[in-house]
């Protein structure tokens, strides 16, 4: 066992100023949705070029609401990738539509745009691309496909706050764009997310969906004209988000520097398949090599345990979702999406978060060499 403190694969960075601001919010007497939420929505809107932004209590519900705002429902098909957190496909089922999966691209780990048009049918209504690890899907090709087939695009940008496409920040362009502010994301509201919308009519529909469909009337009464839920964010959470938003560009710069150090220090002899070295557009939400399992006398599970013994936390993001029981029940099986299956079976997430030192990266690389070198054949 390592004598050094355990190094997790991620850890949020909450500064003392944010903690003090949270205390102020708690003392204010207004702790549910209120002025801090409005302030965060306005700050995000300014970041995204003035587009309407609305907050909710998770990045999953923002995806679901995006589909509902786009009019997606029973009988419709929505294209997405099996190489994502399962929520991406689950929300399609949640609105009564059918998820149609398209394999991943091995280099980017994102949806293979070369395969998308073959999956489009007369029932296809939308595409949900996923920016895995904060590396943007090619927006030019994506929207060209969508326009040719009159499809809505719901961008699952859960991991890509601060990333950009050709210099334009993700969220400032495109159709509906959903971000997550879960604790392991590049900025957090503890739990939460937001949706970037096209106009105020869509924003008003979002507001109804997140709070029971309620419209408050000038005379103090209310009306309900659609079926909504309970998905509002609290001012306590938004206060955390405001502190994080002020620091997210610095967070992302540090992530890029740490990722560059991994490329410099990782031993090529270990045979790891490294992620695409994009230091212009990606926000480096995660650093995810693929293990050379075919050369290893060790399973991935055994590797993770060996790294844990070295004091290093390793994540898995993600298993190919079509092999989960829920999706096997829809008829999916091994061999359907070989690239996603290869990635899902061999991917590992190395420690990467802004508070890490360069020496932490060196420590991970040294531990990888100690664990992997003896078991390679």
Tell me which of 185, 208, 280, 308 is the catalytic residue: 185
Angle, in degrees to the nearest 10, between helices 59-69 and 200-210: 120
Q: Which helix (H) or strand (E) holds 239?
A: helix 235-245
**SS3 label, residue 287:** strand
Cα angle 240, 12, 164 (rounded to 5 degrees) comes to 85
**Which DSSP letter does residue 177 get?**
E
Closest CA to 242 of 49, 30, 22: 22
Query: Cα separation of 110 and 105, whole Å?
Result: 6
Q: Are the C-beta atoms of residues 116 and 110 closer than 8 Å to each other?
A: no
The reply to whether 185 belongs to the active site is yes
CB proximity list for 112: less than 8 A, separation 6 or greater? 102, 103, 104, 105, 339
User: CA 160, CA 172: separation in Å to the nearest integer?
Assistant: 12
User: d(Cα 172, Cα 237) in Å, to the nearest integer?
Assistant: 23
Which positions are annotated as active-site residues? Answer: 185
């Amino acid at each position: 066992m390592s004598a050094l403190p355990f190094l997790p694969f991620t850890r949020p960075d909450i500064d003392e100023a944010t903690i003090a601001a949270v205390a102020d919010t708690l003392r204010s007497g207004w702790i549910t949705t209120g002025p801090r939420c409005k302030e965060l929505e306005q700050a995000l809107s300014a970041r995204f070029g003035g587009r309407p932004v609305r907050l909710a209590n998770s990045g999953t519900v923002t995806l679901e609401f995006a589909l509902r705002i786009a009019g997606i429902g029973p009988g419709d098909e929505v294209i997405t990738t099996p190489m994502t957190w399962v929520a991406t496909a689950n929300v399609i089922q949640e609105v009564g539509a059918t998820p149609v999966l398209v394999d991943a691209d091995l280099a980017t780990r994102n949806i293979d745009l070369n395969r998308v048009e073959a999956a489009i049918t007369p029932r296809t209504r939308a595409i949900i691309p996923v920016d895995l690890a904060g590396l943007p899907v090619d927006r030019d090709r994506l929207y060209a496909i969508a326009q040719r087939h009159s499809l809505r695009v719901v961008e699952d940008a859960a991991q890509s706050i601060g990333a950009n496409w050709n210099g334009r920040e993700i969220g400032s362009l495109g159709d509906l764009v959903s971000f997550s502010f879960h604790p392991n994301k590049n900025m957090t509201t503890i739990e939460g997310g937001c949706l970037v919308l096209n106009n105020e009519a869509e924003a008003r529909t979002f507001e109804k969906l997140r709070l029971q469909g309620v419209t408050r009337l000038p005379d103090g009464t209310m009306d309900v004209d659609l079926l909504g839920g309970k998905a509002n964010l609290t001012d306590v959470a938004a206060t955390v988000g405001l502190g994080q938003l002020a620091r997210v560009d610095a967070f992302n710069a540090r992530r890029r520097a740490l990722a560059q150090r991994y490329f410099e220090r990782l031993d090529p002899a270990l045979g790891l398949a490294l992620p695409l070295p994009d230091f212009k557009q990606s926000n480096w939400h995660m650093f995810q090599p693929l293990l050379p399992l075919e050369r290893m006398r060790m399973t991935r599970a055994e590797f993770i345990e060996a790294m844990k013994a070295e004091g290093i936390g390793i994540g898995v993001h993600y298993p190919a979702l079509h092999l989960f029981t829920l999706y096997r029940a829809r008829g999916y099986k091994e061999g359907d999406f070989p690239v996603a299956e290869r990635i899902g079976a061999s991917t590992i997430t190395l420690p990467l978060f802004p508070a890490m030192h360069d020496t932490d990266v060196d420590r991970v690389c040294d531990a990888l060499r100690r664990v992997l070198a003896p078991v390679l054949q």
